[in-house]
Amino acid sequence: MKKVHHISVVGGGIGGLAAATALAQHGARVTVFEQAEVIREVGAGIQVSPNGLCVLRALGLEDAVTQFSSQGRRVSLRRAESDFEVAHLDLTLLLKTQQYHFVHRADLIEILLQAALSAGVDVKLNKKVRAIVPGGPAQIHFDDGQDIASDLVIDASGLHSRLRATLNGQNEPFFTGQTAWRALIPNTEGRVDDVQVHMAPRRHIVSYPLQGGKFINLVAVQERTAWQGEGWSQRDDPDNLRAAFEGGSSKVTAMLDHVDEVHLWGLFRHPVAETWVAENCALLGDAAHPTLPFLAQGANMALEDAWALCKLVQVDDLQIGLARYEALRQPRVRKVIAAANSNAWRYHLPRGPVRLAAHVALGLGSRIAPRVMLKQFDWLYGYDITTLFDVN
């Protein structure tokens, strides 16, 4: 690691721990500051797509991730009312190095935490940040009165990032008109390798296996006119979820009948931050570019960020490296977020000729030219950020 010796990472989530691990493996002295009393993940499943797996592979964690995940081989788009398969993506047609995995967030967080500790990262808990001040060196001010100076501060603390507000001002997210439920249910069908998307007018359900097929992870989305609050820690009555998908097929009904605990949250859209970096400071992951869960790329974009930032701060001039990081990552995440935003309406088409025509076209594409259909995602899954840098 050139010149940058002490690095502080704010936030002990997927992006923060990946960045800390990568930087420590490249010789930096890294401290992670996490506001919680313990690093843990209260969510459920995530999809690690091939572009995210590239980073985990470069960190030496592919085997650990494979051990605790299920490998995806098929994405199936289905009608919620009948369970008829409209179309599918055959993930086995991807290159052997482009594997797709379903993993519990808690398992991935634990893998990254142990990797960070093994690399020598110092993890400090119960450290709530009051402010991050760019400069030489950058300063972190904590609620407990402590101040820390660092050669580089990386803010990976998510939606409510202090540094994002400092660099870009306060912004008000807007409600997308959609809410989402998240739940885990037992895997009574024996599913091991597929994502199923059950589509219905103004709503859909995504489901896939977790922890070796022990559970099914459910994310159900419904359009609504109003919502209060943001975040997904709010509990809801499972009967509300079942009512939202009343009239679904026996397959959908059976899945929802197994839900005994569910969380509900409103989906808000935040703009991509215009400014990601300042003197000796950088934003990473959701702090810079929150994304809606319609392309399963939130964690994968954070992993890509982590690797890019690790490599680009190793140049002789840190500020040049930070500027290159912003210039490299902004177009990529904007394209991913735009694609995620456009997916929702495709899943929620009302019954009628437009929906029928769209479904017929999808079905023909997946049956007649499956490789062509999958090739549409080359720009996303075929992107390997670990091959882009000459810096060692």
Higher pLDDT, 293 or 140: 140
Q: Is the pLDDT confidence value at 62 over 80?
A: yes
Determine contact, residues 51/300, Cβ cutoff 8 Å. Answer: yes
Return the DSSP state at 317.
S
* pTM (2 d.p.): 0.93
Provide the pLDDT for residue 229: 58
Using pLDDT thresholds of 50, 70 and 90, give the confidence band for residue 91. very high
Q: In b/e form, how buried is each residue of 51-75, taking b as 16+ CB within 10 angstroms?
A: bbbbbbbbbebbebbeebbbebbeb
Tell me what the pLDDT averaged over the chain comes to.
91
What would the pLDDT profile of 281-326 be if each residue is shown by its tens digit?
A: 999 999 999 888 889 999 999 999 999 999 999 888 999 999 999 9
Using pLDDT thresholds of 50, 70 and 90, give the confidence band for residue 96. confident
What would the pLDDT profile of 38-51 be if each residue is shown by its tens digit?
A: 776 666 889 999 99
Provide the pLDDT for residue 2: 60
Which amino acid, residue 192?
A: V
Cβ neighbour number for residue 201 with a 10 Å cutoff: 15
Determine contact, residues 101/69, Cβ cutoff 8 Å. Answer: yes
Placement of tokens 């991913």 in the chain:
336
Return the DSSP state at 130.
E
Alpha-carbon distance values, 49 to 61, 101, 103, 295, 337 (Å): 14, 6, 11, 10, 15
DSSP three-state, residue 2? coil
Provide the pLDDT for residue 259: 96
Using pLDDT thresholds of 50, 70 and 90, give the confidence band for residue 30. very high
Provide the pLDDT for residue 235: 85
E strand or H helix that includes residue 385: none
Cα–Cα distance, 387 to 24 (Å, whole number): 19
What percentage of residues in the chain have a pLDDT greater than 70?
Answer: 95
What would the pLDDT profile of 234-261 be if each residue is shown by its tens digit?
A: 888 999 999 999 999 999 999 999 999 9
Provide the pLDDT for residue 390: 66
Higher pLDDT, 172 or 206: 206
E strand or H helix that includes residue 266: strand 262-269
Return the DSSP state at 350.
P
Using pLDDT thresholds of 50, 70 and 90, give the confidence band for residue 233. low
Q: Is the pLDDT confidence value at 231 over 80?
A: no
What would the pLDDT profile of 341-371 be if each residue is shown by its tens digit?
A: 888 778 899 899 999 999 999 988 889 988 8
Task: Give me the mean pLDDT over the 72-81 stretch.
Answer: 94
Return the DSSP state at 389.
-
- Please give the full DSSP string across 52-106, using - where no structure is assigned: HHHHHHHTT-HHHHHHTEEEE-EEEEEETTT--EEEEEEGGGS-TT--EEEEEHH
Q: Please measure the distance between the N-terminal and C-terminal CA atoms of the chain and give it in whole angstroms.
A: 9
What would the pLDDT profile of 150-165 be if each residue is shown by its tens digit?
A: 999 999 998 889 999 9
Provide the pLDDT for residue 392: 43
**Which residues, including other chains, have CB under 8 Å from residue 368's CB and lie 6 or more apart?**
none
Q: Is the pLDDT confidence value at 127 over 70?
A: yes
What percentage of residues in the chain have a pLDDT greater than 90?
Answer: 72
DSSP three-state, residue 286? helix
Token pair listed for 283: 């934003």
Q: Is the pLDDT confidence value at 226 over 80?
A: no
Cα–Cα distance, 171 to 275 (Å, whole number): 13
Q: Is the pLDDT confidence value at 391 over 60?
A: no
